[in-house]
Structure 1
Amino acid sequence: MRRSPPLALLNGSPLGQRPTGIGVVTLALAKALCHERVTFLDPVATGRPNSLAIPGNLSMDHGRKGHLRRLLWTQNQLPGLLKKTGTSLLLSPLPEAPMLRRGVRSIVLAHDLIPLRFPRPGPLLAYHLAYVPLVLHQAERVLCNSEATAREIHHWLRVPLRKLITVPLGFDPGQLRPLDVPRQPFFLVLGRHDYHKNLPRILRAFARIADPDMTLKLVG
């Protein structure tokens, strides 16, 4: 019996050997969705069933060159994989999809519009000004990780509300457990150390705390 084509391809191209936030989301989607009807485009040989190998140099592990390679691969190579597998639906864990080929339907995830809220000249700003809006408007649906993100996408980019679906981020409870370490007072800063996180002000404020037992921990 001839095997039915997959319902969709899950784009794993942003996944690297050291998964960041989007990489973690990609792995979670692959675990939840990639059975016999969803094919995972796998750049790091995860061993997941029903997967297709793709180049492993498309993630931010490879810096800006990896990002640029992924954008070019998405436009030039990804449509061929959709055709080869017999599906026209792409599920992408970030707002990237083929724009130059007709007949490609996409469901994409949108995480935030921080480069537009806190603009700095450079390639990332151009990416969010020129490319991301086209992808979001062309997508069948846009999955937003919070209601705030959905509101921003509608307000800043005028994407119709009917396209926006809020899917809050989850977590793996198996990763949460008490640590057998001495308790001590501390402030915790969690996340990537980007310019918009206001870290210099945090450091200045912490320097004014007189308690010698208080520590500041930066994780990210």
Structure 2
Amino acid sequence: MRIGIDASPLPLEPVGAGTYIIQLIRALAEINSEHDLFVFLHRTRLLLFDDLPAGRIKFIPISDSTPALRLIWEQFELPALARQYKLDLLHSLHYTSPYKLPCLSVVTFHDMTFFMYPHLHTVSKRLLFPFYIRSSAHRANALIAVSETTRRDAIRILAIPEQKIVTIPNGVSSDFRQITDQRLLQECRRKYQLPDNFILFVGTIEPRKNLPLLLRAFRRLLDEDSGHHLVLAGNQGWMTGEVWESLQDLRLEEYVHLTGYIPLSDLPMLYNLAHVFIYPSLYEGFGLPPIEAMACGTPVIASAIPVNQDHIGDAGILFPPGDERSLFENLSRLINDRQLQAELSAKGRERSKAFTWRSCALGTLGVYQRLETS
């Protein structure tokens, strides 16, 4: 088959769905020997793949644009490219696909937050994405959900047949592992000016990450133990006012460190340096950071939302999403219990092995092949 992959939503600083786009393309390039792959992406993102060996994959550069202009390109120019390259199938990796295509269509859904928590998104996304997502879901020949949680939500919200959407979990790169090279670790500590003892959060600073709750629980921890700092690693997103107000009101400026975006190449060191990883999200479609932390052997505390229950289970500590006291008590217990730390570290490493990008790519190829023969 001649398969097109729409990677145009890939940002320069990838997280979440961006990580999925990069790692799926890399894994497909590694295992595919049967199909011709054509990847459409902004020319400034080509450097993210410049180490891939030549094979049955071709990168088609497109002009950089804003998210709104990207949707226009997707709807009007991408169908013409599908005809130009004589595609048999187009896989859209980020929620939406062209209205009319001359080939089969597969779309990946990462979560349903645009429908379930619209108030947590910017106005432009609230106006555009629900319509395009719903339309894409009903036109596509097959849909991929990155977790069973997202699959269940999509079936319920979009009223699509159960057999149309399959769950193919994200993976964790082999770069995320226990690192014993102290030189590398200390270089990372100096680069980001990290304290000796710290608790870590990784993710975009946005409302659904529930960071004000984390800050309040951390303030309570400081009142009984000032030996740890808190590191928030990630880009500033939107509607962040409550986070900055909490930092000031709780007098945490001295103890909370904001690193900004951390490149994928440095993230494994950051996880390894952390004593505990915390992920207090109100909702996630998959939630890569806690799985990455577990792969590095870092003990995890996370909110007991459905996707964390499915993916983390007893390999971490789960607390009710809005329960500040439970988060504080579990955090206090974990940082003071070395045996529990060692137990969760071992369980987490083992649990993370269930998530590989190779499995993700194999499952994705399986979807392509089923459509080819149906």
Could you tell me how far apart the structure 2 residues matched to 1:175 and 1:204 are? 30
1:194 aligns with 2:169: no
Q: Secondary structure at the match of 2:143?
A: strand
Q: Which amino acid aligns with 1:212?
A: S
Aligned counterparts of 1:104 and 1:123: Cα–Cα separation in 2: 30
Shift in Å, 1:117: 1.8
- For residue 61 of structure 2, what is the aligned residue in structure 1? 54
Cα 1:103/1:56, change in 2 over 3 Å: closer
Q: Which residue of 2 aligns with 1:134?
A: 135
Counterpart mapping for 1:34-113 below 5 A = 34=29, 37-43=36-42, 44-45=45-46, 46-47=49-50, 49=54, 50-58=57-65, 66-99=66-99, 101-113=100-112
Letter in structure 1 aligned against 2:27: A
| Greater Cα radius of gyration, structure 1 or 2 | 2
Contact 2:107 2:137 in 1 (8 A): yes
- Higher RCO (C-alpha 8 Å, min separation 6): 2
- Contact kept, 8 Å, 2:91 with 2:106, in 1: the verdict is yes
Alignment root-mean-square deviation, CA: 2.3
* Worse-matched range after superposition: 149-158 or 102-111: 102-111
Could you tell me whether the CA contact under 8 Å between 1:116 and 1:128 is conserved in 2?
A: no
Measure, in 2, the Cα distance between the counterparts of 1:26 and 1:56. 18
Task: Answer with 191-200 or 147-156: which moved more.
Answer: 191-200
Question: Pairwise mapping of residues 3-18 of structure 1 onto structure 2 (< 5 A)?
Answer: 6-18=1-13
Superposed CA offset, 1:63-94 (max 9, x none)? xxx10111000011101111011114111111
**Greater share of helix:** 2
| Structure-2 residue corresponding to 1:155 | 156
- Name the CA shift for 1:41/1:212 in 2 (closer, same or farther; >3 Å): same
Aligned 8 A contact 1:13 1:54 in 2 = no
Does the Cα contact within 8 Å between 1:188 and 1:219 map onto a contact in 2? yes
For 1:14, give the aligned amino acid.
P
Query: Unaligned stretches of 5+ in structure 2?
Result: 187-194, 235-374
**TM-score, length-normalised on structure 1?**
0.84
Matched residue type, 2:84:
K
Native 8 Å contact 2:82 2:102 kept in 1: no
Partner-residue secondary structure (3-state), 2:127: helix
- Tell me the secondary structure at the aligned position of residue 174 of structure 1: coil
Q: 2:201·2:231 contact (CA, 8 Å) conserved in 1? A: yes
1:185, distance to aligned residue in structure 2 (A): 5.3
Preserved contact between residue 74 and residue 97 of structure 1 (Cα < 8 Å): yes
The separation in 2 between residues aligned to 1:28 and 1:198, in whole angstroms, is 27
Distance across 2 between alignment mates of 1:41 and 1:149: 25
In structure 1, runs of 5+ residues without a counterpart are 1-5, 59-65
